[in-house]
Amino acid sequence: MTLRWCRCVILVCIAPTGLLSKAFADPFPAISLVIWRATCQLLRQNHEKFCHGAWLRTPEYRKMLPVEMSRDRKVSLSMRQKLLYALSLGLCLALMASGLHAAEESREVWLLVDDRTSTLHVYRGNQEIERFSPVSLGRGGAKRLRLSGSRATPTGEFKINWINEDSRFHIFLGLDYPTLAHAREAHESGMLSEPEFYDYLTYYRRHGAPPQDTVLGGSIGIHGLGEADPSVHQRYHWTDGCVAVTNDQIEKLATLVRLGTKVIIR
């Protein structure tokens, strides 16, 4: 492969990411523009290797070429050139998809529950868009590993995997506790026996969600007050392990999250 071809393939793959970064407020738009212009220049220099057929005959493309290069003619591509063209196109599309996915992730809503400040933060990417305080956690405190009946709130990273809008706590956003990481740590620490850990894994593979009847407990989530006393909520951690907010706050929260929303409790 010639040096020119190496440069063409590399720049064709990089250009879309430059455009995407510019579209999503990249702090270095000038670099993106330079990459794109360099790519266009190399494509013009190597147009016979990249293009054939009707596109060469379009007025828009012919305006980009010198007069001696704009005549209609058939372009014959070798197998190597076709493979290189297909590879560069595939890499280009993959980079575009990756850039779009990263941009989408940067706009995702996620929740952070801070036990120390009794606060629930709502973020979109890195920007805080809502804050609820005070929130109530379990009467047993916040712990990485908790046993059923301990009334402790588990810490770690979770996802919302079920939503009950007709709960006795008004609205209930269920979490995927105990996660695989919690179960593995509990097994390593001896809290989960070998047969119990095997049963956990079997259930998880079969249902795509953790069982709720292990020694680690279950039915952990974020919910409203329902008919509970708001004055108690303001002064105490009163739940059996969940995170509680007011009814108005859980209604607002339910409009911001969806199944799969990340929740971090620390």
The residues annotated with a catalytic role in the active site are 223, 242
Q: Which residue type is seen at 262? A: K
Nearest in space to 122 (alpha carbons), one of 243, 131, 114:
131
Please, are residues 192 and 186 in contact by the beta-carbon 8 Å criterion? yes
Residue 121 contacts by C-beta under 8 Å, 6 or more apart in sequence? 111, 112, 113, 114, 128, 130, 131
Q: What's the alpha-carbon Rg for the chain, to the nearest Å?
A: 28
State the residue for tokens 């509990």.
186
Structure tokens at 118: 């009794």
Consecutive H or E run containing 157: strand 156-167
